[in-house]
Amino acid sequence: MKNRIGVMGGTFDPIHYGHLVLAEQVRSELSLDRIIFVPAGIPPHKKELSISNNIHRHFMTVLATIDNPNFIVSDIEVHAQKVSYTIDTLHRLKELYGNDHSIFFITGADAILDIESWKDSKTLLKTFKFIAGTRPGHQNDDLERKISLLKKQYDADIHLLEVPALAISSTDIRNRVGMGKSIKYLIPEAVEQYIYKNRLYERGVSGE
Ligand code: ATP
Ligand code: MG
């Protein structure tokens, strides 16, 4: 039987329990062998915003996943010198792992609702299997409607998975740190310590 690999892309600025719960639920529900977290290099959608440097985001993702033998982190995007697009990353991973591996790309609701704006979305949706996890702030009806539309239009292979709702976002965590509010229990403790140690997300401090 083929090895089943989940690929979890994101900015992870910082990684939080919403990401980890989504990845773990997908892993267990779809019997995946492992999940590869791929922190985005220079994310095309967020180019204009100031995001923490690639190395900080890579380290935080490693710290967050270190105690899970099924989770690994790829530096494929953070080490690229140019903008990384999901379609290119998935093709590279497919090449790297070969034909005895099946790749599933994991997204939250907001990402799947927005997917048609991604580079080569038509090919992306026709070529790779997707798992769409529910996310607070997005109606499941909208998500279901979007998925059936994408299936019809592109013959896409998208599996909808209901995951325990965690209304956590990286934006909210950055804002909380900036305002001196607690982020305890929203992210793994090691990541919290890393943020404070490196003075990330402080008001007026860019995190570079
Ligand atoms: P930001 O606020 O900076 O956009 P984010 O919390 O949305 O950060 P991303 O790195 O943008 O995190 O998201 C990576 C992937 O994880 C996306 O597919 C997103 O939909 C999914 N995701 C993020 N947070 C959650 C959550 N709380 N529940 C379910 N899915 C989530
Ligand atoms: Mg996001």
* pLDDT for the residue numbered 203: 73
Considering the domain delimited by 3-170, tell me its CATH architecture: 3-Layer(aba) Sandwich (3.40)
* pLDDT for the residue numbered 207: 46
Q: Say which range, 90-94, 159-163, 204-208, has the weakest mean pLDDT.
A: 204-208
Residue 67, pLDDT above cutoff 70: yes
Measured distance CA(53)–CA(24) in Å, rounded: 26
Any idea where the domains of the chain sit in the sequence? 3-170
175 in ligand 1 pocket by Cβ < 6 Å?
no
* pLDDT for the residue numbered 9: 97
Q: Report which of 46, 32, 181 is spatially closest to residue 106, judged by C-alpha positions.
A: 32
Measured distance CA(59)–CA(14) in Å, rounded: 10
The residue to which tokens 């779809």 are assigned:
30
Amino acid, res. 75: D
Measured in angstroms, how far is the CA atom of residue 208 from the centroid of ligand 1?
22
Please state, for a pLDDT cut of 70, what percent of the chain lies above it.
92
Which atom of ligand 1 is found nearest the CA of 171? 2
The residue to which tokens 């093709």 are assigned:
91
50 in ligand 1 pocket by Cβ < 6 Å?
no
More confident residue, 64 or 55: 64
Measured distance CA(63)–CA(15) in Å, rounded: 10
Q: How many residues does the chain have?
A: 208
Residue 19 CA to chain centroid, in angstroms?
7
Token pair for residue 115?
């997917």
Measured in angstroms, how far is the CA atom of residue 57 from the centroid of ligand 1?
14
Nearest ligand for residue 105 CA: 1
Q: Report which of 130, 143, 142, 207 is spatially closest to residue 174, judged by C-alpha positions.
A: 207
Measured in angstroms, how far is the CA atom of residue 1 from the centroid of ligand 1?
31
Residue 208, pLDDT above cutoff 80: no
Longest dimension (CA), the chain: 52
Atom 20 of ligand 1: nearest residue by CA position: 108
More confident residue, 4 or 1: 4
- Using alpha carbons, list the distances in angstroms from residue 91 to 24, 86, 103, 124: 23, 9, 10, 9
Average pLDDT on 162-175 reads 97
Average per-residue pLDDT for the chain: 93
Residue 75, pLDDT above cutoff 80: yes
* Tens digits of residue pLDDT in 2-34: 899 999 999 999 999 999 999 999 999 999 999
Atom 8 of ligand 1: nearest residue by CA position: 170
pTM value surpassing 0.85: yes
Is the distance from CB of 111 to CB of 135 less than 8 angstroms? no
Average pLDDT on 98-116 reads 96
Could you tell me where the beta strands, DSSP code E, fall in 21-148?
Answer: 34-39, 71-73, 101-108, 129-133
18 in ligand 1 pocket by Cβ < 6 Å?
yes
Please state, for a pLDDT cut of 90, what percent of the chain lies above it.
86
Q: Say which range, 52-61, 124-133, 157-166, 173-182, has the weakest mean pLDDT.
A: 52-61
